[in-house]
Amino acid sequence: MKPGVIDYIILATYFLYVIGIGWLVKRRVKTGADFLTSGHSIPLWVTSLAFIATNLGAQEVIGMIASGAKYGALTFNFYWLGAVPGMIILGVFMMPFYYGSRARSAPEYLKLRFDEKTRGFNAITFAVMTIFSSGISMFALGLLFQLVLGWKLTNSILLSAAIVLVYTYLGGLTSAIYNEVLQFFLIVLGFAPLSIMAVWKVGGWSGLTSRASAWMAKQPGFAHNPDVITHTWKYMGHASSNMMGVEWFGMLFGLGWVLGCSYWCCNFLVVQRAMAAKSMAASRLTPLIAAFPKMVMPAVVILPGFAAIALHQMHVPGIMVAKGATFNYNLVLPNLMAQFYPSGLLGVGLTALFASFMSGMAGNVTAFNTVFTYDIYQSYIKKSASDSHYFKVGRITTVVGVLLSIGAAYWAAQSDNIMDFLQLVFGFVNAPLFATFLLGMFWRRTTGHGAFVGLLAGETAATLTLGFSTAEGTGGWFGAIHTFPSAMAQNFWIAILAFTSCLVVTVLVSLITKPKPVGELENLVYGYTKIPVEQDVPWYKRPILLAVIVGVACILFNIWFW
Amino acid sequence: MDDLRVPIGSFFVILGVMLLIAFFVITTGPPLSSPRVNLWCGLAMLAFGAIMLLLARRGKA
């Protein structure tokens, strides 16, 4: 791939715009609260698009296209099962308590609902995780540009980190959110032509499915059901009949319920976007409105990868390149761009890649900022200072957060295995949280001790499961009692066991410890929170109705591609 | 900043114009590309940007 002058001009224009937006937002950011929480001032359509854009990091885009090339239509499950249901649950059931409690962060909700130790545990694990995630994605992007453009790793890491630093330092959360919307449009408009051209080339949807099936028929073990690559559910009956090596229960409960909901309902990275909305109603509508574009995103971020298999079957060279006995799936996206995009559009595609990286990293940096400043600094280091003091701390934290991310990126560069391992760990650190929030919001008897011990039990169960099981060479340090058919199955089952242990232990410990007095549960728990009922508003502003529409649409998509 | 639609609209108008220039200037492309892809994508981005700017203007009035 050799970008021309015009491609670099497009990239430079984008950088100017990103920093320009940060500079324009700066005038509006006058207090620490503005900087760290946007002061509840962002319009609904902006929070909704930012809500999904912050998840559309470079790793998500590269990874989903890679997964499309590896698993075909099975990948749709990550959106229609692993994302949309979780977004509906956040909007309908959980947002009233997040917003109603007036908490400034997810850990702070845990403090208000439970106690200091539960908040501290969550805040610290979250802070460490965000730094490593942004470091890992920085490294992933740098590695990609090194492979396809020949750029030095250090150059792309420092360039992208510097730009994210400038605009988040200038305008804080508002700047990050505004930029995420621009990044969202750029990602969609930058990758949609790739999807259209690739699918066109392989002969439309019917050409795509027949060629992908023909390729599948040549793979060992799938000769009798080559159409496995074109269905989401049909071959989920048994782990051995699909390439993911996952059966329906692990898929439904592990991905859909535990991992999907713990990410979309409890990860402050995304929840922060909904909390920045203007009102309780708008905060509930944020994930629900976001679910509509999210549902059709696979057309842009999965379909090109799926088409890559069909192109490979047509003997088009240079897209699915070999890596050992298998393919280098992470290169499918840049390879497709190199084959389809002429100079000009290539610049847009590369810019979209940068944009996806920045939206992911800025999300991590702003969430880290808020959690560090309010949940760690204000709670443990300096309790009562002026707002301007925390404003200053927030700004300094931005710089420190970016520097730590760069450090994490170089640490990840030491070994590819560290990266895989960390991603596995992050998967299960979040999993038990969903049980904690669910019980906290809907069972008033849940106690602080229960929540804390439950979380520890969840993490312990996850660690033990990983330690005592193996799959494709991961885990099993304490001896392998069980072997999973695939790393993905292992990941889903770790989440299931972590969630269940957390749930059971939280309930048991809560029953033998003293609950909070009812007076202190106002706006934190179901039954003691006034949830506004929208009466005089048009239908499209009613959360429940929207949730039903998006839920039915999502089920229809599942049936359509079953 | 009052309206996010202004920077987004103007950004895509500029991007659209650049792609149209690329269409006239650049004649070679990779194997699977079609010669008019810069033209179509440029027009699409120009239209998207223009709609954003129009919405922003209407919102103000």
For residue range A106-151, list pLDDT tens digits in order. Answer: 999 999 988 889 999 999 989 998 898 888 888 888 888 888 888 8
Residues A405 and A441 in one domain: no
Question: How many structural domains does chain A have?
Answer: 2
Residues A343 and A393 in one domain: yes
CB atoms < 10 A from the CB of A269, how many?
22
Distant-in-sequence, close-in-space partners of A16: CB < 8 Å, separation ≥ 6: none
Range of the domain at B37: 5-60
Question: Taking a C-beta distance cutoff of 8 angstroms, is the pair B47, B55 a contact?
Answer: no
- For residue A353 the two structure tokens come to 């890649």
More confident residue, A240 or A179: A179
A436 — pLDDT class (breaks 50, 70, 90): very high
- For residue A68 the two structure tokens come to 């499309």
Residues A438 and A360 in one domain: no
- For residue B1 the two structure tokens come to 């900043």
The ipTM of this complex is: 0.94
Residues A406 and A438 in one domain: no
Q: Using an 8 Å CB-CB cutoff, list residues of chain A that contact chain B.
A: 4, 6, 9-10, 13-14, 17, 20-21, 24-25, 27-28, 43, 46, 178, 181-182, 185, 189, 193, 197, 201, 316, 338-345, 347-348
| pLDDT above 70: residue B60 | no
Residue with tokens 């497709």: A336
Q: Which of A28, A182, A343 sits opposite B8 (nearest CB)?
A: A182
Start-to-end CA span in chain B (Å):
17
Nearest to A531 by CA among A285, A276, A280, A264: A280
Q: Please report which helix (H) or strand (E) contains residue A525, including its range.
A: none
A413 — pLDDT class (breaks 50, 70, 90): confident
Residues A453 and A355 in one domain: no
Q: pLDDT (tens digit, 9 = 90+) per residue, A24-70?
A: 888 888 888 888 888 788 888 889 999 988 888 877 888 889 889 88
Residues A385 and A482 in one domain: no
Residues A299 and A447 in one domain: no
Residues A14 and A125 in one domain: yes
CA distance A451 to A439: 9
pLDDT score for A229? 86
Nearest to A316 by CA among B33, B42, B9: B33
Q: Please report which helix (H) or strand (E) contains residue A209, including its range.
A: helix A204-217
Say how many CB pairs under 8 Å bridge A and B: 93
Residues A404 and A470 in one domain: no
CB atoms < 10 A from the CB of A229, how many?
27
CA distance A179 to A392: 22
Range of the domain at A365: 5-414+532-560
Question: Taking a C-beta distance cutoff of 8 angstroms, is the pair A502, A457 a contact?
Answer: yes
Question: Taking a C-beta distance cutoff of 8 angstroms, is the pair A319, A308 a contact?
Answer: yes
Q: What is the DSSP string of A444-473?
A: TT--HHHHHHHHHHHHHHHHHHHHHEEBTT
A464 — pLDDT class (breaks 50, 70, 90): confident
Question: How many structural domains does chain B have?
Answer: 1
List phi, psi (to 5°) of A256. -70, -50
Q: What is the CATH number of the domain that holds A10?
A: 1.20.1730.10
Best residue in A148, A340, A350 to probe B by mutation, most B CBs within 10 Å?
A340
pTM for this one?
A: 0.91
| Set of chain B residues whose Cβ sits within 8 Å of the Cβ of A25 | 1
Which amino acid, A294? K
Mean pLDDT across the stretch A330-343?
A: 89
pLDDT score for B34? 79
Mean pLDDT across the stretch A442-464?
A: 90
| Set of chain B residues whose Cβ sits within 8 Å of the Cβ of A348 | 15, 19, 41, 45
Question: Taking a C-beta distance cutoff of 8 angstroms, is the pair A98, A279 a contact?
Answer: no
Burial class (CB in 10 A: 0-12, 13-18, 19+), A224: exposed
| Set of chain A residues whose Cβ sits within 8 Å of the Cβ of B48 | 185, 189
